[in-house]
Amino acid sequence: MMNEEKLLTVARYLEGDMELQEKQEFETLLQVDEELKSLLAEYKNVHQTLKMKIAPSEDDKEVEATLAAFGKQYFKDQEHSSARVVTLRPYLRWISVAAILVIGLFVWAPWSVNLYEKYSISKEMSVVERGADTKNNLEKAADLYNAHDFSAASAVLAQEYTLSPENTLVAYYYGITLIETGKENDARSILTKLYEGESVFKYDAAYYIGLSFLKQKDNQQALEWLAKIPQGTANYDKAQELSKKLH
């Protein structure tokens, strides 16, 4: 058999255009004929590849719809509003609500988070705009930071920080985004360097190290750092006020 003939038999076999006896003969031949085997594999490959392109099924559209919905949630909403529906029997629900409230209050300790938010100082990151039509990375980071997308801002600032660790502005805001994204230890090692240096961010860095301990409910260390902020500097009053609340 020529290749062309073989190809046609493969097609007829797979498309169900063979009578029983011919089919059995084909299957016997397939056991021994390597060329036939590879033609069969090639046929299936082309068939399936084309099928996914020209005849997508309903299932495919449903999966695409699921992905689109998650895409919206994870890529476009700034704050995650992932409301979960939990159904419980009514009495169980009230017991669990009460229990969750009690446990939750202790674990979550909203008062220290609130204090952290209330006493944060650098809510806006501002950089010098170059006025060019494309934004540089620092401007991008500032936009993300000001939109409170701290994890995205952190990623950009991380790159900038590696490029120029001596840039105190980058180091300072990078430190804050690390605190915001729960990496307090990393934040402190960067901010401590700033505090040990002589930049304009020296005492701002000390203040934020204090806040990072506050966020982790380590009031003792928070107080120690707040105490480093000398009278006459910008954050002195705030640091004193906060210290009183922590005592």
Residues of the shown chain interacting with other proteins in the complex, contacts defined by CB under 8 A = 4, 7-8, 10-12, 14-17, 39, 42-43, 45-55, 57, 59-60, 62-64, 66-68, 70-76, 134, 137, 140, 144, 151-152, 154-156, 159
Rounded Cα distance between 3 and 242, Å, is: 85
- Shortest Cβ 107–other proteins spacing (Å): 21
Listed as own residue / partner, the contacts of 69-77 with beta carbons closer than 8 Å and 24 or more positions apart are none
Burial of 65 (0-12, 13-18, 19+ CB in 10 A): exposed
Distance of CA 167 to the CA centre of its chain: 26
d(CA 66, CA 44): 29
Q: Is 240 helix (H, G, I), strand (E, B) or coil?
A: helix
Nearer to other proteins by C-beta: 40 or 205?
40
Closest CB to other proteins among 115 and 141? 141
Q: Toward other proteins, which CB reaches closer, 82 or 220?
A: 82
Closest separation in Å from C-beta 205 to other proteins: 24
Cβ 88 to other proteins shortest distance, Å: 19
If phi > 0 it is left, if psi is from -120 to 50 it is alpha, else beta; for residue 2 that is: beta
Tell me the C-alpha to C-alpha distance, in Å, between residue 149 and each of 52, 97, 131, 145.
Answer: 38, 31, 23, 6
> Hey, how many other C-beta atoms are within 10 angstroms of the C-beta on 173?
25
Amino acid (1-letter code) at residue 182: G
Minimal distance, residue 177 CB to other proteins, in Å: 11
As measured in angstroms, the least distance from the Cβ of 238 to other proteins is 31
